[in-house]
Amino acid sequence: MSDSAFHYVDGVLHAEGVSAASLAEQFGTPLYVYSRDALTQAYRAYADACAGRNATVHVAVKANSNLAVLNVFARMGAGFDIVSSGELARVIAAGGRAEHTVFSGVGKSAAEMREGLEAGVKCFNVESIPELHALNEVAKSLGKKAPVSLRVNPDVDAKTHPYISTGLKSNKFGVAFSDARATYAQAQAMDHLDVVGIDCHIGSQITEISPYLDALDKLLELVGQIEADGMRIRHIDVGGGLGITYDDETPPAIGDFVTTLLDHIGKRGHGAREVYFEPGRSLVGNAGVLLTRVEYLKPGEEKNFAIVDAAMNDLARPAMYEAFHRIVPVVKRDAAAQTYDVVGPVCESGDWLGRDRELALVPGDLLAICSAGAYGFVMSSNYNTRPRAAEIMVDGERARLVREREEVEQLFAGESILPD
């Protein structure tokens, strides 16, 4: 979590100027809490590094699609990166603009392509030859030309978790590097496509710059070959994926990351091209926490369990990736700590949020699961017919409810039983 946005005052965790304990009392738990200041500072780090350079920032909506979160970025002039027409609808509802939005994703349907074209998105990042043909046909039916870039898979190891590595030969994403030049030629030959750029995204939670530079070197070499074939590449999309600190990781500072990539592109003679950055986790990850209350403490022969009211349906990352999130008390207790596995009430052995944590607890205590702003609520579900959590945005000393807690009745409102 952001130490500036989430900090202790007299032993009580605060989100900016608001006590986390008071938020839990007012809005209940589990509860996602976001800091507007943390979102703002992270975005400004990107925007400031891009200032005066031919570079733009497109927020990856999949990391956190809450309308209030997106609106914070839209007000600061952000573009957006989407992977579904549902995310496009969210961007527009949040005050974003379609013409500043890049439509990514490996499996866009014809209906989604149509919606993107009708809205006037900035570019489609295309990932296969069949997708090129489909987009060409949809554009033809609308009497339009679709702006496209190809997502090229450079076969670069991002040195991250295999589930969030996207730039290797074995990944489903992108056009194989060896096929890219020929694929660009096919795109150029299609009457209703306008080839405008090249795209690359090698993974997520990357904590070193070197994999980006390796991918860029291959990408820039390819750009020269494509232009030799008679096409003009106007922009280079370097994707997102910059990591954050969950535990003891030391990713590069955002400004250093952006400057290093832009300088590298310039030194290779490509400084005139626009560069797109598509950050997600590095904007929102440490801008949010998940508050949860301890229901029971259950000692065991091998493990002590702290059973809380949040679960894997609220935060899937630990169960899905064995991801680490720091877990801290909302109110510090002056007592001896014990080692607990922090687990939820869902009926799965994989329902854990943290293992082997040193905590001083009694039932009813509040805990904050840190660094939960990215891939937290957006990946949550209603498994075990559990309503999803509420979401709060803190702005200074004010807290606003930006998503109401679901009610059980909402979860089956669209269902029906069989007639007699």
Dist. CA 153–CA 248, nearest whole Å: 30
Q: How far apart are CA 345 and CA 307, in angstroms?
A: 7
Q: Tokens standing for 115?
A: 């919606």
d(CA 93, CA 82): 14
Q: Is the distance from CB of 167 to CB of 216 less than 8 angstroms?
A: no
CA-wise closest residue to 128 among 138, 140, 116, 136: 136
Contact 199, 150 (CB under 8 A): yes
Count helices and strands (H / E) in the chain. Answer: 12, 21
123 is catalytic: no
Task: Choose, from 50, 123, 200, 347, the residue flagged as catalytic.
Answer: 347
Using an 8 Å Cβ cutoff, are 217 and 267 in contact? Answer: no
Three-state SS at 195 = strand
What Cα–Cα distance (Å) separates residue 416 from each residue in 116, 385, 411, 412, 419? 33, 16, 12, 8, 9
Cα–Cα distance for residue pair 338/334, rounded to 1 Å: 13
Phi, psi of 347 (to 5 degrees): -85, 65
- Report the distance separating Cα 62 and Cα 91, nearest Å: 11
DSSP H or E run through 410: helix 408-411
Q: Which residues are catalytic?
A: 347
